[in-house]
Structure 1
Amino acid sequence: MGIFGNIFNKSTEKSEKKEMKSVINWIPLTSISQFEEIKKKSKSKVVGIFKHSTRCVISRTVLKNFDQGFPESVSNKIDMYYLDLLSYRDVSNEVGYEFQVMHQSPQLLLIHNGITALHASHYDITQINLEKIIK
């Protein structure tokens, strides 16, 4: 291990790398036509939309923390959509119009009965207690 590996406590051994498995069954949000599906689903369960900027360190950190802290107990009670807002900017813009929220990134919207029931951005996303909200 080199000097930087010692300083930053990094290892190059493959056996020490741990692969994380997400409990979230992410659904890619790539089209405005999916909004009707989202609104329809939200009549019977909560639907989440996670807007993520793939070039933003804060967005990457929040997504990682959200994913790691996602309670397994609610994984079958919510459909989670993932929106890469840089690749699908038109969809991202329409999310704001359709669900009446000002664009931010990262951003989490919880849709229930066709409307935004809760939204948060940046590090506030990781403070949401999904187990308390989704019963």
Structure 2
Amino acid sequence: MSTPWLPLTQPEQLTELAQASHEQPVLIFKHSTTCSISAAAKGKIERQWADSGLTLPIYYLDLLRFRPISAQIAEQFGVRHESPQLLLIKDGECVYDASHMGIRLNDVQAAVK
């Protein structure tokens, strides 16, 4: 099964996913399409997704095309902007934040429980 990326392209989606995170946690992956480290992190997520057992919605943010949304994420969830970055939103708050090669789906699994 491939990673079920959901495109994050509209600022209103942040409000919607924050509200939805009260029912089920939500992931946001911030990706720079010109960065090799970001490409490696995205590939790692895609390779590990099927075996992770995660069934969470995972949103994909193209930082170069939608930079203002990244700034809104930092402000709304109180996290420093990084790229690549994986955030777990639960009950409207960021409960897991990892960047670069520190992104691990098994850490997400532990944070979800």
> TM-score, normalised on structure 2?
0.91
2:45 partner letter: F
Q: Can you list the C-alpha shifts for 1:60-102, whole angstroms capped at 9, x where unaligned?
A: 0011011111235222xx1100000000011111111111111
For 1:132 and 1:73, locate their aligned partners in 2 and report how far apart those are by CA, in whole Å.
12
Q: Which residue of 2 aligns with 1:39?
A: 18
Structure 2 residue runs of 5 or longer lacking an equivalent are none
Alpha-carbon offset, residue 41 of structure 1: 0.9
The alignment yields a C-alpha RMSD, in angstroms, of 1.5
Q: Which residue of 1 aligns with 2:80?
A: 102
1:126 partner letter: R
Within a 5 Å distance, the mapping from 1:56-135 to structure 2 comes to 56-70=35-49, 71-75=51-55, 78-126=56-104, 128-135=106-113
Between 1 and 2, higher relative CO (CA 8 Å, sep ≥ 6) is seen in 2
CA contact (8 A) 2:7 2:60 kept: yes
1:53 partner letter: S
For 1:131 and 1:50, locate their aligned partners in 2 and report how far apart those are by CA, in whole Å.
15
Residue from 33, 50, 53 that aligns with 2:29: 50
Percent sequence identity is 38
Q: Which residue of 2 aligns with 1:29?
A: 8
Q: Higher mean Cα deviation, 116-125 or 65-74?
A: 65-74
Count of equivalent residues: 112
> TM-score, normalised on structure 1?
0.77
> Whose radius of gyration is greater, 1 or 2?
1
Structure 1 residue runs of 5 or longer lacking an equivalent are 1-20
